[in-house]
Structure 1
């Protein structure tokens, strides 16, 4: 079946952007915001419509997910829902009311469920403060069906998005496989909706973020004395 033309201005911008990615950019290839502007001259918020495709299962990575990308580059990794088809990518499925927003923020504890940051908190190593937004997460349920659920994420995690659906059946199976001590520990974390990390875990997390020269210094401190 032939695809509609991405240049057809009778289609909505998001549908045109999806077709442009498929037919011009191609899966696995890189594009920039300037490429989007050049493809859709005079179209306001064309880049935002590209981002909206993530809500329909499209995987579009930034340098947060793919370290090989530049700051202004994105990679079209995988096509999601064919939003140009009748009944797909409709506005009702992407609209979040203020009531829904308040409800989701309240049940999620008013912090980012991906990284734990709270609104107004400064990201480590920057002067940028976090803002909370509502993201859509595609969840594959134990019965095999897929649905879109709402979750609180900060502006950084929201932009990154998630390419693959969360497989709830796999997670539940992993929970079932836990030993009694691990189940007790997980139950306590869930009840508190937080986890206190040990000193060594915090050191490990900091170590992972260091450049190699600094990582080498840590390894030298840990190395047993000669002789």
Structure 2
């Protein structure tokens, strides 16, 4: 496992990709060398597969970030990175069995493709109001997990913004939070769709609104 860690750092490099065949060729004659690479996850090493990174092929893996320097004496402390089925069901239920980042549900097709969403459990670093950090579980789809790998949520900032809301705004937010859903108005939906249009098409909308071309 120590040799595998050094190989990832020196040969693959952070954000580099590799396959099981690459591992086999790097350590000829070593049985289950790929398992030693997987074991590094227990020591804080982040190694993504196509389940966490939709840009990877089925047999590819990505070395995302180095964890503990396991090759140094006394520096390797095994972390508990697994989640039980009971914990997984609890997180999915609490998060409405949908991706908390984009709202897509399991099996739903992404709007810009024929790819269906898979919902899994991700770990999100949360900055607490007292300044400390906590790693908490959250449901995310396979696409959003890619973009959210380095995301840090700031609970203190959210609570601070809540305290600044006036009566009507606070009641509106209360209703959204209670329902765990926000209904967008027609004008908001049109604005969101307008932003996705190419410049030529945006100018047609501007013309319809009596505005000059951009």
**TM-score normalised to structure 2 length:** 0.71
SS of the residue 2:2 aligns to:
coil
Aligned position for 1:86: 76
Counterpart-to-counterpart distance in 1, 2:84 and 2:93: 14
| CA-atom RMSD in angstroms | 3.9
Label 1:221 to 1:12 Cα distance change in 2 as closer, same or farther (>3 A): farther
Aligned position for 1:190: 177
Counterpart-to-counterpart distance in 1, 2:152 and 2:91: 19
SS of the residue 2:96 aligns to:
coil
Aligned position for 1:126: 113
Offset at residue 162 of structure 1 (A)? 3.3
Select the structure of larger CA radius of gyration: 2
Aligned position for 2:2: 11
Offset at residue 150 of structure 1 (A)? 0.6
Check whether the contact 1:40–1:46 (CA below 8 A) recurs between aligned residues. Answer: no
1:152 to 139, 143, 146: 139
Check whether the contact 2:45–2:68 (CA below 8 A) recurs between aligned residues. Answer: no
Check whether the contact 1:57–1:164 (CA below 8 A) recurs between aligned residues. Answer: no
Offset at residue 140 of structure 1 (A)? 1.2
Count of residue pairs brought into register by the alignment = 195
SS of the residue 1:148 aligns to:
strand
Cα deviation 1:81-120 (Å, max 9, x = unaligned): 54644226x2x1x101111111111111111111011111
1:1-227 to 2 correspondences below 5 Å:
10-11=1-2, 16=5, 31=16, 33=17, 40-42=23-25, 44=34, 82=68, 84=70, 85-87=75-77, 90=79, 92=80, 94-224=81-211
Check whether the contact 2:20–2:34 (CA below 8 A) recurs between aligned residues. Answer: no
Cα deviation 1:133-154 (Å, max 9, x = unaligned): 1111111111122111111111
**TM-score normalised to structure 1 length:** 0.67
Check whether the contact 2:100–2:139 (CA below 8 A) recurs between aligned residues. Answer: yes
Structure 1 gaps, min length 5 = 1-9, 61-70
Offset at residue 212 of structure 1 (A)? 2.8
Aligned position for 1:66: none
Structure 2 gaps, min length 5 = 26-32, 49-54, 57-61
Offset at residue 165 of structure 1 (A)? 1.9
Label 1:213 to 1:146 Cα distance change in 2 as closer, same or farther (>3 A): same
Aligned position for 2:29: none
